[in-house]
A and B are shown apart, each in its own frame.
Chain A
Amino acid sequence: MRYWVGLCVLILTILAISFVVAANINVLVPSTNVRTLAEIYLKYTYYPWDKYFTAMSPEACTSIVWDFRGLDTVFETMVFYLAIIGAIALARGVPLKLPKEIKGDLGLSLIVKTVTKIVPVLIIAVAGSIALHGHLTPGGGFQGGATAAVAPVLILVVFSQFYLLRRGVNKNSMLLLRSIGLTGIGITAFAAVLIGLATGHYAFVLQNQPKPLAPDISLPAFVGGQLISGSLWFFNFFEFLAVAAGFTIVFLLITLPEKLAEAREEKRVAEGGEK
Chain B
Amino acid sequence: MSYGEAVLLGITALAAIFSTIATYMAIMERDLLKAVIFSAIQSTIYAFIYYMLMAPDIDLVYIPVAVGLYPAVIIALIKKTTREEKP
Contacts and interface: CB of A to CB of B under 8 A. Distances in A.
Contacts, number: 57
Interface in B1-57: 13, 16-17, 20-21, 24, 28, 56-57
Contacts of A147: 60, 63-64
A9 B63 CA distance: 30
A79 interface: no
B17 A14 contact: yes
B21 to A, nearest CB: 7
A143 B24 contact: no
Contact of B69 (A7, A142, A143, A247): A247
A254 B60 contact: no
A11 B20 contact: yes
A150 B69 contact: yes
Nearest to A247: B69
A11 B17 contact: yes
Given A6-B28, A149-B69, A153-B72, A143 B57 contact: yes
Interface residues of A, number: 26
A130 interface: yes
Interface in A141-155: 142-143, 146-147, 149-150, 153
Interface string A8-39: 00110010001000000000000000000000
A2 B60 CA distance: 38
Interface residues of B, number: 22
Contacts of B59: 138
Contacts of B13: 18
A258 interface: yes
Nearest to A123: B64
Contacts of A149: 64, 69
B24 A157 contact: no
Contacts of B73: 251, 254
Contacts of B16: 14
A147 B59 CA distance: 11
Contacts of B80: 258
B63 to A, nearest CB: 8
Given A149-B69, A247-B69, A130 B60 contact: yes
A139 B24 contact: no
Given A6-B24, A6-B28, A18-B13, A153 B69 contact: yes
Interface centre among B59, B60, B61 (most CB of A within 10 A): B60
A61 interface: yes
A18 B86 CA distance: 36
B80 to A, nearest CB: 7
Contact of A251 (B60, B65, B72): B72
A1 to B, nearest CB: 12
Nearest to A157: B72
A150 B64 contact: yes
B39 to A, nearest CB: 16
A259 to B, nearest CB: 11
Contact of B60 (A6, A138, A150, A153): A138
Nearest to A243: B61
A126 B56 CA distance: 15
